[in-house]
Amino acid sequence: MITKEMVNKLNQQLNLEFFSANLYLQMSAWCNHKGLKGANLFFKKQSMAEMNHMYRMFDYLNDMSMMPVVGSIEAPSVCFLSLTELITHAYEHEQTITYKINNLVHSAITLQDYSTFHFLQWYIAEQREEEQIFKSIIDKLTIVNVDTNGLFLIDQDLKNMSNVNIIDH
Ligand code: FEO
């Protein structure tokens, strides 16, 4: 039995996943605008992955005979000073999402909702992976000289990373 409290919390997360999808879609547009075609592709794929995160939650609520509720989604940032600032923003966003998922897991345990607890395990692993991905990009940006060819190399690298099928994630 899933409680109303848990349903509300899952719906909040569902909308946060929507926001993540919009944030990364907007980031892909910024990258494209700056001529960073690889980064554009990478963030477009990330946006699709976030939609999948949202759909998983949507389907779980339906499966539990509860109503998923799509609310109004806050508009994401449009302007960034550099690719480094953008990636750092994305990394910090993922850290926030991890915190939110952890809170959901805590609520599921506290409410003795072990079905939801089990459902959320996938998100725990996913957050670990996503944080690692963004941290690895930040590390690479620190190593290269972004004022010269470094930015080109990073963009190529992001293009290669976007070829990995992350839609199922
Ligand atoms: Fe749905 Fe990137 O967390």
Tell me what pLDDT residue 110 has. 97
Q: What are phi and psi of 69, to 5 degrees?
A: -125, 115
Domain limits for position 104: 4-68+82-163
**Residues comprising the chain, all counted:** 169
Digitized pLDDT (tens) for each residue of the chain, 169 residues in all:
899 999 999 999 999 999 999 999 999 999 999 999 999 999 999 999 999 999 999 999 999 999 999 999 999 999 999 999 999 999 999 999 999 999 999 999 999 999 999 999 999 999 999 999 999 999 999 999 888 899 999 999 999 999 875 555 5
Is 50 a pocket residue for ligand 1 (Cβ < 6 Å)? yes
Q: How far is the CA of 101 from the centre of ligand 1 (A)?
A: 10
Q: Is residue 77 part of a domain?
A: no
Tell me what pLDDT residue 148 has. 81
DSSP string covering the chain: ---HHHHHHHHHHHHHHHHHHHHHHHHHHHHHHTT-HHHHHHHHHHHHHHHHHHHHHHHHHHHTT------PPPPPP---S-HHHHHHHHHHHHHHHHHHHHHHHHHHHHTT-HHHHHHHHHHHHHHHHHHHHHHHHHHHHHHS-TTTTHHHHHHHHHHHHHTS--TT-
Q: Which atom of ligand 1 is least distant from the CA of 97?
A: 3
Which of 93, 84, 70 minimizes the C-alpha distance to 150?
84
For position 114, which CATH number holds? 1.20.1260.10
Q: Is residue 49 part of a domain?
A: yes
Q: Is residue 76 part of a domain?
A: no
- CA pair distance 109, 25, nearest whole angstrom: 34
Tell me what pLDDT residue 165 has. 58
Q: Is residue 145 part of a domain?
A: yes
Q: Is residue 37 part of a domain?
A: yes
Q: Is residue 169 part of a domain?
A: no
Q: Is residue 75 part of a domain?
A: no
Q: Is residue 74 part of a domain?
A: no
Distance set, CA 79 to CA 56, 119, 162 (Å): 30, 36, 22
User: Domain total for the chain?
Assistant: 1
Q: Which atom of ligand 1 is least distant from the CA of 127?
A: 3
Q: How far is the CA of 51 from the centre of ligand 1 (A)?
A: 9
